[in-house]
Amino acid sequence: MLNIGIIGYGYWGPNLVRNFAQINGVRIAAVCDQRPERRALAAQLYPTIQTYAQAEDLLADATLHAVAIATTVNAHFPLALQALLAGKHVFVEKPFTATVAEGERLVAEAARRGLTLMVGHTFIYTSAVRKIKELLANGTLGSLYYYDSVRVNLGLFQQDINVLWDLAVHDLAIMDYLIGQMPTLVAATGMAHVPGRPENMAYLTCFFADHIMAHFHVNWMAPVKIRRTLIGGSEKMIVYDDIEMSEKIKVYDKGIIVSEAEDAIYQRHVGYRTGDMWAPRLDNIEALKIETEHFTTCIQNGQTPLSDGQAGLRVVRILEAATRSLANQGQPVAL
């Protein structure tokens, strides 16, 4: 039996508890939250678990094999480090850490101790993103040209992180999984409209080798909720709309044809290709179910998680560079 403890029983913690509790061979042994009302709720729903007010007490529980951390970003590093030093496998929500240096320390510590370290990049476990990965891998889209994402809504203004760390982190994790390489250069611009709070809207551009570009538009102050990504390839193009209920992915047989004739070298002719649109069938398995099962399987079999510490670190590298660019009015930062 694999005993798991959850640190943080606020917004996302209950979802982690619910999914881990449904896995065969796994037992939710403990939940930690500083708020007594949240501990009381956890104990009411799961009477057999032990509740703690302090993370140090939970981590001192020798019966726990692993912990999942669902707290504010600034607490990820100290809690994850304490857990690794206590010999426990660690699942930590995104963003992985607040700085690259913190992420590097956790990755090194987990490797040194032979422990599983996984980051909660939940979107890469969705049926939609898994299908897009399949279409990219089997060559359906041809050569990748661009990744263009919009994630906006009238959302909760954070105090400790800006909108890039809050919203763009999701799309950067998806991009990292789909493209499979780091950008060479990033540039970001944004604005804070509430005094004393971080930027609530931002635009981030990532430049890759092979003429690939990725762009992200994130905003806490939009009148509508949009979760849409366009992915362009030389053969096919994709519209991925996460709000769409029945057809989250639409594949378009559209594109351009550029003449390579010798006599057109100074004035290339561009033609257009227009074909059918199709929406691939997707499964209805909850992404968090797949993700939590993957974490426990990796612990039991010694496998490297799909969203391991290195994946989380790559995203933090981009976010940290984007924050520097943001502070300098869009000055590009090399990676």
Where along the chain do the CATH 3.40.50.720 domains lie?
2-115
Please state, in angstroms and rounded to a whole number, the distance separating the CA atoms of residues 297 and 294: 5
Average pLDDT (25-47) is 97
Q: Which of 149, 285, 294, 171 is nearest to 226 (CA)?
A: 149
Looking at residue 302, the DSSP 8-state letter turns out to be T
pLDDT attached to residue 33? 97
pLDDT attached to residue 188? 98
Q: Following DSSP, what letter does each residue of 224-262 receive, concatenated?
A: EEEEEEEEEESS-EEEEETT-SS-SEEEEEEEEEE---G
Q: Which residues sit opposite 316 in a β-bridge?
A: none
pLDDT attached to residue 277? 92
Q: Angle at CA 24, nearest 5°, toward 51 and 15?
A: 50
Q: How confident is the model at residue 258 (pLDDT cuts 50, 70, 90)?
A: low
273-308 pLDDT per residue, tens: 677 899 999 999 999 999 999 999 999 999 999 999
Residue type, 240: Y
Q: Which of 226, 183, 178, 181 is nearest to 204 (CA)?
A: 183
- 3-class secondary-structure state, position 8: coil
112-146 pLDDT per residue, tens: 999 999 999 999 999 999 999 999 999 999 999 99
Is 2-115 CATH 1.10.630.10? Answer: no
Which CATH code is given to the segment(s) 124-286+317-334?
Answer: 3.30.360.10
pLDDT attached to residue 276? 85
Instruction: Quote the percentage of the chain above a pLDDT of 90.
Output: 89
Average pLDDT (189-213) is 95
CA–centroid distance for 17 within its chain: 19
Q: Which of 10, 1, 2 is nearest to 295 (CA)?
A: 2
Beta carbons of 231 and 179 less than 8 angstroms apart: no
Beta carbons of 228 and 150 less than 8 angstroms apart: yes
Whether the predicted pLDDT of 82 surpasses 60: yes
Average pLDDT score, the chain: 94
Whether the predicted pLDDT of 21 surpasses 70: yes
pLDDT attached to residue 50? 96
Residue 159: C-alpha distances to residues 16, 120, 267 (Å)? 24, 21, 52
Q: How confident is the model at residue 261 (pLDDT cuts 50, 70, 90)?
A: low
Instruction: Quote the percentage of the chain above a pLDDT of 70.
Output: 95
Please state, in angstroms and rounded to a whole number, the distance separating the CA atoms of residues 137 and 126: 17
Please give the structure tokens belonging to residue 272.
């257009």
Beta carbons of 315 and 176 less than 8 angstroms apart: yes
Ordered strands of the 201-207 beta sheet: 270-278, 249-258, 237-241, 221-233, 144-154, 213-219, 201-207, 185-191, 333-334
Where along the chain do the CATH 3.30.360.10 domains lie?
124-286+317-334
pLDDT attached to residue 55? 97
